[in-house]
Chain A
Amino acid sequence: MAAACGKVLLRAALPARWFSSSMCRMNRDGEPTKFQPPPKPVIIDKQKQREERRFLSPEFIPPRGRTDPLKFYMERKDMIQRRKVFNIPEFYVGSILAVTTADPYADGKTNRFVGICIQRGGRGLGATFVLRNVIEDQGVEICYELYSPRIQEITVLKLEKRLDDNLTYLRDALPEYSTFDMNMKPVSHLDHEEIPVNKLQVRMKPQPWSKRWERPKYNIKGIKFELPEKKMKEAQKWKQPWLEFDMLREYDTSK
């Protein structure tokens, strides 16, 4: 009884402070601090992240035009059928791939080529990608068709992106930027990681080049232009600043 009274008394005497945990928490000055709730746990759902970041191969996007969508539907069905049988990995322009094709004239009937993907073209079943490598000081490029039955294996040795969509300027760059070892070991890439963007600025051979890459029409970000200021200014003469404001022009509004 006495104990119970004592407890009640204690409760009555210190009502607010009994329940607050600031009893234990004191400021440096000895004053009671306001109660800070613990930080909310951040739950990273890797599965959802992966789903949000699903890769769509560019050849599935049909070109704009007045063709019957049935044609693209049939092509897509065939593409998916082929992908069920043969694995076409996700890759971008700038990734290093190894492709084995069936070749009746090659030793062992298979031909293996390693190279950097410099461009991806075509839509539907005729989708192509060009691999470039420098072998014995000779630049070689091979244009492969993604859905060709002759291709037996596509391996991504290094999955990465570059600053540009089209690396055709590598033809005019120093050969060291296009040389890759034929027996390169694959660099592992974890599923949930972001695709690394290689911000490499490539050094070029002296001019003339196959195309005037300094002109704004190509919009190349991956070249370290070591040209004189006069030439860079002259290249800007071909800039078309009205293009982005042209309302009759069709452009990508998804972003």
Chain B
Amino acid sequence: RGDWSEDCWGLCTRSKEPDLSLSFLVSGACRAIQKLTRVRVVDNSALGNAPYHRPPKCIHVYNKTGVGKVGDKILLAIKGEKKKALIVGHKMPGPHMTPRFDSNNVVLIEDNGNPLGTRIKTPIPYILRRREGEFSKVLAIARNFV
């Protein structure tokens, strides 16, 4: 189940009974990002912050395994469009000394690696600096690091 705080996607609010149209399986088993995971876009891009009646969902993970961890690229379905994104944090506990976030965070990205937004307020793990070459532009717009 997603965070209650970001549940202002159109009709779905916690105070009402669960919306029967959302009849997919809400299992919490694999907490890293895989197909059909609802994610939270953390940059200030127009596409990421525009309200829509469906949350942005992952439809493909560019990985040998279908499970995306921090630093993996995924394909997102937002507002009826397909967009690539970079995972910057997930709810699944990772290796020790790495941060674990309370929501699955993602930054929208173009095919060549350029981020769509201009600022990232949420903290980004330092681990991403390992692949400075690929993510230099994303790291450049990040404000806080953890």
Residues of A within 8 A of B (CB): 101, 103, 105-107, 111, 113, 128, 135-145, 148, 150, 171, 205-206, 208, 210
Chain A residues with Cβ below 8 Å from B28 are 210
Asked if residues A111 and B126 are in contact (CB atoms below 8 Å), the reply is: yes
Question: Interface segment, B53-61, B96-104, B109-117?
Answer: B96-104
Looking at B28, B101, B105, the one whose CB has the most chain A CB atoms below 10 A away is B101
- Pull 11 A–B residue pairs with CB atoms less than 8 Å apart, ordered by A: A106-B126, A113-B146, A135-B144, A138-B103, A138-B105, A141-B99, A142-B97, A142-B99, A148-B97, A171-B102, A205-B5
Note all chain B residues with C-beta closer than 8 A to A137: 122
User: CA A114 – CA B67 in complex, angstroms?
Assistant: 30
Is B123 a contact of A140 with CB atoms below 8 Å? yes
Whether A206 and B123, one on each chain, are in contact in the complex, defined by CB atoms closer than 8 angstroms, is: no
CB closest residue in chain B, given A122: B96
We find that the number of chain B residues with CB closer than 8 angstroms to chain A is: 29
Which residues of chain A are near B103, meaning CB under 8 Å? 138-139
A138 to B14, CA, bound (A): 20
Known: A136-B144, A138-B122, A140-B146. A105 touches B96 (CB 8 A): no
- Nearest first, the 5 closest Cβ-Cβ pairs linking A and B are A139-B102, A105-B129, A105-B126, A138-B122, A141-B100
17 new A-B pairs (CB below 8 Å) besides A105-B128, A137-B122?
A: A105-B129, A106-B129, A107-B145, A136-B122, A136-B144, A138-B103, A140-B102, A141-B99, A142-B100, A142-B146, A143-B97, A145-B97, A148-B96, A150-B97, A205-B4, A206-B14, A210-B28
Neighbouring A residues of B1 by C-beta, 8 Å: 208
Most buried by A among B42, B100, B105: B100
B127 at the interface (CB under 8 A from A): yes
Do B96 and A140 touch across chains, with their CB atoms under 8 A apart? no
Q: Which chain B residues border A144 with CB–CB below 8 Å?
A: 96-97
- Give the distance in Å from the alpha carbon of A140 to the alpha carbon of B125 in the complex: 10
Q: How far is the CA of A113 from the CA of B128 in the complex (A)?
A: 17
Residues of B within 8 A of A (CB): 1, 4-5, 14-15, 28, 42, 89, 93, 96-103, 105, 121-123, 126-130, 144-146
A206–B93 CB distance below 8 A:
no
Cα separation A20 to B98 with both chains bound (whole Å): 79
Complex Cα–Cα for A79 and B31 (A): 33
Query: Closest approach, in angstroms, between the C-beta of A178 and any C-beta of chain B?
Result: 9
Find chain A residues with CB under 8 A from B105 CB.
138
Docked-complex contact B101 and A139, CB < 8 angstroms? yes
In the docked arrangement, what's the CA distance between A136 and B102, Å?
A: 12
**CA A140 to CA B144, docked complex, whole Å:** 12
**In the complex, what residue of chain A is closest to B18 when comparing beta carbons?**
A208
Shortest CB-to-CB span from A111 to chain B, Å, is 6
A144 to B99, CA, bound (A): 10
Report A16 CB to chain B, min CB distance, Å.
Answer: 81
Q: Min CB distance, A131 to chain B, in Å? A: 10
Chain B residues near A145: list those with CB within 8 A: 96-97
| Contact flag A140-B99 (CB < 8 Å), given A113-B146, A135-B144, A205-B4 | yes
The smallest C-beta distance from A182 to any residue of chain B, in angstroms, reads: 10
Task: Report the separation of the CA atoms of residues A145 and B102 in the bound assembly, to the nearest whole angstrom.
Answer: 21
Query: How far is B98's CA from A145's CA once the two chains are assembled, in angstroms?
Result: 11
Asked whether A136 lies within 8 Å of B130 as measured between CB atoms, the reply is no
Question: What residues of A have a CB within 8 angstroms of the CB of B128 in the complex?
Answer: 105
Q: Are A140 and B101 in contact, with the CB atoms below 8 A?
A: yes
A142–B31 alpha-carbon span in the complex (Å)? 16
